[in-house]
Amino acid sequence: MALTGKSAVVTGAAMGIGKALSELLLENGAKVALLDVNDSAGQSLMESLNQQHGAGSALFLKCDVESEEQLKAAFQKTVETFGGIDILCNNAGIMNEGTWEKTVSINLMGVIRATYIALEYMNKLNGGKGGVIVMTASMAGLGPFITCPVYTATKSGVVGFTRAMAGASEVSGYGIRFNALCPAFVQTDLIANASANLGPFSHLAEVAGQIKEKLGVISVSEVAEGLMELVTDETKNGEALMILTKGKTYMQFPSLSK
């Protein structure tokens, strides 16, 4: 899929990985709706991206992925502004084992919520043009990250949802591919603030630090390169792309159908 003239929605776009995904989509010619709860960071990112890529190429919309109403309004505004949606990046996420219900609500329910709303516009069976939906999952979703059990559960759920939706889409003819990015540790605020957010597992902060030390930390731009691969390579559907300091690899899963 070539990105020139395509329209993308990125959740959690104001900072960290979402910001890097948005920047690379714009550099490759897409228009991007930046959805985030952080009004000031979102507004200033939109201004700087519009200066770099041309007025009207980025649109900031204040939107909490916990709110069905805000998501519906943001998708509607994106379609009115850009004429449709070709790409959705379900990226917004938190790690907080203390407020675990919120972690589930944002990381897993927020992904399902945004995906179902996007389908109303993207699904070829509803008159949409099809496209691609990419989730920012995590390596935690592929193996247990023992210091963050609820975070692990949400990311495992995201990987399962992605793969099942990929199959459902293929069999039903939605014309939409579904893939997941599974990075290990990435240099963002989420990691910088993590030790204070371990809740009942705060006694395992040192263990988390050791795992981080062993795996190393990658940059947001390495994750964005992974997104480009999953978006532009039309053979990729139902994939979980692991992104580690040693490089990128596709996860091999057992097949239920063969």
Ligand X SMILES: NC(=O)C1=CN([C@@H]2O[C@H](COP(=O)(O)OP(=O)(O)OC[C@H]3O[C@@H](n4cnc5c(N)ncnc54)[C@H](O)[C@@H]3O)[C@@H](O)[C@H]2O)C=CC1
Ligand Y SMILES: CCCCCC(=O)/C=C/C=C\C/C=C\C/C=C\CCCC(=O)O
Residue from 16, 128, 157, 226 touching ligand X (CB under 6 A): that is: 16
If binding is defined by CB under 6 A, does position 191 make contact with ligand Y?
A: yes
Nearer to ligand Y, 79 or 94 (CB): 94
Contact 79, 121 (CB under 8 A): yes
With CB under 6 A as the contact rule, which of the stretches 52-60, 85-93, 119-127, 167-175 interacts with ligand X? 85-93
Rounded CA gap, 30 and 87, in Å?
Answer: 9
Give the number of residues in contact with ligand Y, rule: CB under 6 A: 19
Residue from 22, 147, 162, 188 touching ligand Y (CB under 6 A): that is: 147
| Contact of residue 104 among ligand Y, ligand X, none (CB under 5-8 Å per partner type) | none
- Beta carbon of residue 79, minimum distance to ligand X (angstroms, whole number): 19
Of the candidates 45, 56, 2, 47, the residue with the CA atom closest to the CA atom of residue 21: 45
Q: How far is CA 79 from CA 32, 72, 84, 96, 194, in A?
A: 11, 11, 4, 33, 36
With CB under 6 A as the contact rule, which of the stretches 52-60, 168-176, 188-196, 198-206 interacts with ligand X? 188-196
If binding is defined by CB under 6 A, does position 95 make contact with ligand Y?
A: yes
Q: Measured on CA atoms in the order 210, 98, 222, 176, is the torsion positive or negative?
A: positive
Q: How far is CA 164 from CA 157, 167, 177, in A?
A: 10, 5, 11
| Contact of residue 141 among ligand X, ligand Y, none (CB under 5-8 Å per partner type) | none
If binding is defined by CB under 6 A, does position 46 make contact with ligand X?
A: no
Rounded CA gap, 214 and 108, in Å?
Answer: 27
Binding site for ligand X (CB under 6 A): 11-12, 14-18, 36-38, 64-66, 91-94, 106, 136, 138, 183, 185-186, 188-191
